[in-house]
Amino acid sequence: MIREVSRKLTIIISNNITKVNIAGSLFSHFTDVTNSLILTPMKLFLGADHQGYHLKEKIEAYLVKRGYDVEDVGAQEVQPEDDFPQFAQMAATRVLGTDDTDDPRAILVCGGGQGMCMAANRFRGIRASVIWDSYEAKMTRKDNDSNVLCLPSRVLDDDAELWKDILDTWLETPFADAPRYRRRNDELDEF
């Protein structure tokens, strides 16, 4: 259900998850405290190596325009000799160490997405997924509670409509929070 309260305030209720959009800024979590709202913006960390740099820059501009709280963890310029693991590590540790928001996430970009995903998944509590379409973006959030999205720049760089659809789907799809999904995520963290 979408309820537009005014031109600057929209409340979206879906699967018992409420999102509040105030003047273009998306807040995915809030606490109702005696008829007042304490809003917590979704924090996103972006990282890319030299192959994903240009797509990362486009993604950052898109997300900032949509009101997301975005932190770029690098690369800050194209350096053909850089290595993807350092950017995956910076993003993963920030996702795990962020206490000021309920749902920190990261978006990582490299040539094929696989290297970033392998590096990010080395960290307990990270559930990184390589995604190439919106259906997979929806399923990795709904079933796996993915908190790191890895994108292949070789596939997506020239298709803005596709990567925007993937981002929007991944960011707006809530975790189903079924007992079997929680159990499976707990098992992953035991490895």
Three-state DSSP class for 160? helix
Show the tokens assigned to 19: 């999102």
Give catalytic status of residue 110 as yes or no: yes
Buried b (16+ CB within 10 A) or exposed e, 106-145: bbbbbbbbebbbebbbebeebbbbbbbebebbbbbbbbbb
Task: Please say whether the dihedral angle defined by the alpha carbons of residues 119, 84, 104 and 157, taken in this order, is positive or negative.
Answer: negative
Pairing of strands 9-14, 25-33: unpaired
Alpha carbon distance 132, 152 (integer Å): 7
Alpha-carbon distance of 174 to 53, in angstroms, equals: 28
Write down the catalytic residue from 26, 91, 110, 171: 110
Q: Which residues pair with 38 in a beta bridge?
A: 31
User: What six digits make up the tokens of 100?
Assistant: 């000021």
Residues serving a catalytic function are 110
